Amino acid sequence: MARVVVSVMPKPEILDPQGKAVLGALPRLGFSGVSEVRQGKRFELEVAGEVTPAVLAEVEKMAETLLSNPVIENYVVSVEA
Amino acid sequence: MARVVVSVMPKPEILDPQGKAVLGALPRLGFSGVSEVRQGKRFELEVAGEVTPAVLAEVEKMAETLLSNPVIENYVVSVEA
């Protein structure tokens, strides 16, 4: 059993209202020093057996077709130790 | 300028309907080999200057009070290289 993580973030040129809302709330809560916040999604997938290149390629395809919208989002696939 | 990442995931004992929906969609799209999916949030925070222990402590507090709901979610703070 291995865990593969897919991180999905809005592309830099895409407006991120959720991130902006968090950024606006921080000073009201007394926090300072943060200049930008982006909010995205994190998927943790449990896959049976070892994480082979074939498994990673399959997860890449899942990320592209189901987990992200490639028009407005970037994704990164990584294996968790 | 440094980037600090806050990953927020539903606690293992908490039902995750979004993750279940993804898990159910995978076989319908022709994907196999995934036994569990959990969906959470990923925040990328740009902080000015270096990431000192004090900055990390501040981000931990943000994660606990604003970015996550500690009753149903766990969070992890990490620094991106």
**Per-residue pLDDT reduced to its tens digit, B7-62:** 999 999 999 999 999 999 999 999 999 999 999 999 999 998 899 999 999 999 99
Segment B20-32, tens digit of pLDDT: 999 999 999 999 9
User: Is B57 within 8 Å of chain A by CB?
Assistant: no
B17-A19-B7-B9 Cα dihedral, nearest 10 degrees? -20
How many CA within 13 A on the CB side of residue B57?
A: 3
pLDDT at A27: 97
Determine the pLDDT at residue A80. Answer: 87
- Rounded Cα–Cα distance for residues B80 and B65 (Å): 22
The pTM is what?
A: 0.94
Q: Determine the average pLDDT of the residues in A51-71.
A: 96
B74 in contact with A, Cβ within 8 Å: no
Whether chain A has a CB inside 8 Å of the CB on B61: the answer is yes
**Which position has the token pair 């799209």?**
B29
Name residue, tokens 């898990």.
B23
E strand or H helix at A35:
strand A34-47
C-alpha dist (Å) from residue A23 to A30, A32, A57, A80: 12, 10, 35, 29
Q: For residues A37-60, give the mean pLDDT.
A: 96
* CB contact set of B56 (below 8 Å; sequence gap of 6+): B4, B77, B79
Residue A22, both tokens:
């968090």
| CA distances in angstroms from A56 to A43, A50, B48, B73, listed in the order given | 14, 10, 35, 27
Least CB–CB distance from B62: residue in A26, A38, A62: A26
Instruction: For residue A1, give how far its alpha carbon lies from the nearest alpha carbon of chain B (Å).
Output: 9
Tell me whether B33 touches chain A (CB under 8 Å): yes
Provide the mean pLDDT of chain B: 96
Give the count of Cβ contacts less than 8 A between chain A and B. Answer: 100
Is the Cβ–Cβ distance between A71 and B69 less than 8 Å? no
Cβ neighbours, 10 Å, residue B68: 22
